[in-house]
Structure 1
Amino acid sequence: MNPRQRRGMVLIIIAVLGAIAVFAGVSSYVSNVNTQVGSKVAVLALKKSRSAFAVIQQSDLKTVDVPKRWVDPHAITDPSQVVGHKLAVKVSSGSTLTSDVLVAPTDQTQHQRFITIKVDAVTGGATNLHPGDSVDAYAVYADVEGLSKQVRVLVHDVKVVAVSAPQTDQGSSSSKGTNGSPANYIAVTLALTAEDSLAVTYASAFAADLRIVKLPPVSNQDPSDDGPYDADKLGGKAVPEGSK
């Protein structure tokens, strides 16, 4: 092979390599374009702006096609996941809906109040409690003027909504805080009626102690039998505070 032929062969090889490089570049570009404008996903968006805590209706929704590459992982595509739910924040017109802008679902009814109370981590009766358990709440009155020292059933057979891990009340002494809250406590959230929530709130502020009593899964207990327990039932005399 003479020098001219060798030069021709080198040029042919260079041309082939260049063609391969161009083909690879074009393929990469086309693939990138396809991920941006090719495959699309229909997600839900709002037709008009809605304020925080507004209830989403079917008429508020529209679908928007978004390239699959740019779809938010929390984007919502099914109307049943949002219709009837509340917005946690204000959402502008045209914004796509995501699960993190919705108020967390709850089984709370319009007649219930969720209230969280502190009970002693050891003696309060909150150990081994789980959401869904049925409980009674007892209040121990010992320092309320005009009221006999006694134990009262505040609420009977109510549901536990949430139970925290044991916590330490940094503002309390090693035993009791100024409002009777223990230094080491568990926060228990109960589902109560409006009246019962007031009774529990009063006891949390003024009772010497507040305890949670877990009930068995099936209980035939008659709440009418749960009257106040005081010194009379122990054979003594119940004397209101301040009496001689």
Structure 2
Amino acid sequence: MVVAAGSGSRLGHAVPKAFVPIAGLPILGHALRGVLSSPGVSEVVVVAPAAHRGEAQDVAAAVCRDVGSHADVTVVVGGAERGDSVAAGLAGLSPEVEIVLVHDAARCLTPVAVVERVVAAVAAGAVAVVPGTAVVDTIKQVDERGLVVATPERSSLRSVQTPQGFRREVLERAHAVSSAATDDAGLVERLGERVLVVDGDARAFKVTTPDDLETAARLLGMPAT
């Protein structure tokens, strides 16, 4: 599924983040292009704000035509919180789907190779898989006063991206317990299940600020709008 229900207020646009254009195509369109170009993806549920459901359907149809995908694409309405939106996406999947990817539309330039690595790892037996990149900055843990309490060894740290992949029954079980986490892998970890990290990609960064829009446009070799 592609989660595109966030408001994206930090981008400073009047429309939700997923519908802000980069190089003439909405962020959602770029995200779908990467997902739908993967031969391992046969079904996609887009989770969108209610007011933009029709627009999301139009974007998805256009991308399917452009990349020649025959995947089934459905658009459902998201919830108040991210966990609610993922739950809505799960409910929109066909019963026969066993491997579920959860992808943030804001990570719209994620390469197809990352999608395929995640799918392959779950198909090979992992119950939960996340793409990640090595942390290059020194990380400090601070208390409520801003004082440093620890410096984690960065060689063991990873900056986690999406899509995250799961055996469906594990993801559903995790959401049945609680949907309160910054990512779905965190919910699965609480079940005591192991989460595998595969190689991510610097291009899978999250578009959050106007500067991120400019960065994405440069990577595409185009003006931002």
Q: Rg larger in 1 or in 2?
A: 1
By percentage of residues, which structure has more strand?
1
TM-score of the aligned structures, taking structure 2 as reference length: 0.24
By percentage of residues, which structure has more helix?
2
